[in-house]
């Protein structure tokens, strides 16, 4: 029985179905996140406690069978899988994220919860970067040591840390930053991601999870979603200065 997967599996770029039921996995193999054509994943009856954010790269996924694993957390990036229609997972009191009470509401409401939580993390992240555009540009250049215009995941984390950007959800957000799943981002890719959808607003689980959900559960969901919404500093750049910097950057670099 299997405990790991070879990196060469990522060469199967058209693989649609992957069955790894009843093996000996204790950690989820990251190489699965590079199988972006996957539509069905069966990972039941293993010993996985945590499924990683890299699952979010598999945005063609339609069904995931994850039951009979001692799962304590699911990644927010599952909320990016717009084709997902089936997901099985055993919910125990060990479930921390999302809270077990949310997981027990069924797939539809669990997916909505993950989706809106991911959306809010993206909105807060982009807002922070827009407020510190000059610092973002300087940090990117500083960590691009070989001047190839690319930063890998660790370098981006360092750059954002230098800018005092909240990194609590960095692993989930990386799926949105590294849109081509190459393991690195160039500044144009980083910049365009930062600047799009400037009028996005936070979503309220009390509205989106619907009237059929118990009020206490809705309030718990609301608290969990907004625990991550640390105030965005308003003293870095106003909108006029930001637009000037954006225009200058595009003229000089794009």
pLDDT in tens, 210-226: 776 777 777 766 666 65
**What is the Cα–Cα distance from 221 to 230, expressed in whole angstroms?**
16
Using CA atoms, how far residue 196 sits from 24, 31, 126, 129, 190, in Å, is 42, 29, 9, 12, 11
pTM of the predicted model as reported, rounded to 2 decimal places:
0.77
Using CA atoms, how far residue 157 sits from 29, 104, 136, in Å, is 22, 34, 12
DSSP 18: E
pLDDT in tens, 111-161: 988 998 898 888 888 887 777 766 677 777 777 766 777 888 888 887 777
Q: What is the pLDDT of residue 48?
A: 93
Using DSSP bridges, classify how beta strands 184-186 and 150-152 pair: parallel, antiparallel or unpaired.
antiparallel
**What is the Cα–Cα distance from 237 to 233, expressed in whole angstroms?**
9
Residue given tokens 């996140």 in the structure block: 33
Report which of 72, 57, 89 is spatially closest to residue 27, judged by C-alpha positions. 72
Q: Is the four-CA dihedral 88, 93, 97, 101 of positive or negative sign?
A: positive
Q: What is the pLDDT of residue 181?
A: 84
DSSP 107: H
Residue given tokens 């179905």 in the structure block: 17
Q: Residues 102, 80: contact at Cβ < 8 Å?
A: no
Q: What is the pLDDT of residue 248?
A: 54
In the chain, which stretches have pLDDT less than 70?
133-135, 145-146, 194-199, 212, 220-254
Q: Which token pair is 199?
A: 């009028």
Q: Residues 232, 131: contact at Cβ < 8 Å?
A: yes
Residue 165 backbone phi and psi in degrees, to 5: -80, 140
Q: What is the pLDDT of residue 117?
A: 87
**What is the Cα–Cα distance from 115 to 227, expressed in whole angstroms?**
16
């Amino acid at each position: 029985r299997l405990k790991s997967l070879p990196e060469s599996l990522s060469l199967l770029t058209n693989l649609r179905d992957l069955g790894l039921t009843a093996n000996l996995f204790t950690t989820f193999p990251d190489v699965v996140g590079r199988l972006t054509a996957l539509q069905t994943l069966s990972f039941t009856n293993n010993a996985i406690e945590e499924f990683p954010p890299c699952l979010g790269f598999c945005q063609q996924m339609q069904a995931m069978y994850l039951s009979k694993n001692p799962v304590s957390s699911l990644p927010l990036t599952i909320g990016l899988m717009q084709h997902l229609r089936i997901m099985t997972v055993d919910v125990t009191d060990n479930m921390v994220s999302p809270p077990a009470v949310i997981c027990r509401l069924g797939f539809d409401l669990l997916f909505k919860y993950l989706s809106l939580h991911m959306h809010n993390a993206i909105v807060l992240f982009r807002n922070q970067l827009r407020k510190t555009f000059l610092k973002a540009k300087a940090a990117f250049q500083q960590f691009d040591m070989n001047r190839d215009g690319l930063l890998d995941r660790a370098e981006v984390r360092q750059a954002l840390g230098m800018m005092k950007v909240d990194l609590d959800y960095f692993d989930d957000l990386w799926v949105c930053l590294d849109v081509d799943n190459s393991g690195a981002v160039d500044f144009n890719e980083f910049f365009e991601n930062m600047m799009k959808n400037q009028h996005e607003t936070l979503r309220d689980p009390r509205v989106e999870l619907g009237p059929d959900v118990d009020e206490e559960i809705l309030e718990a969901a609301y608290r969990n979603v907004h625990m991550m919404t640390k105030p965005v500093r308003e003293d870095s750049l106003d909108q006029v200065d930001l637009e000037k910097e954006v225009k200058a950057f595009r003229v000089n670099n794009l």
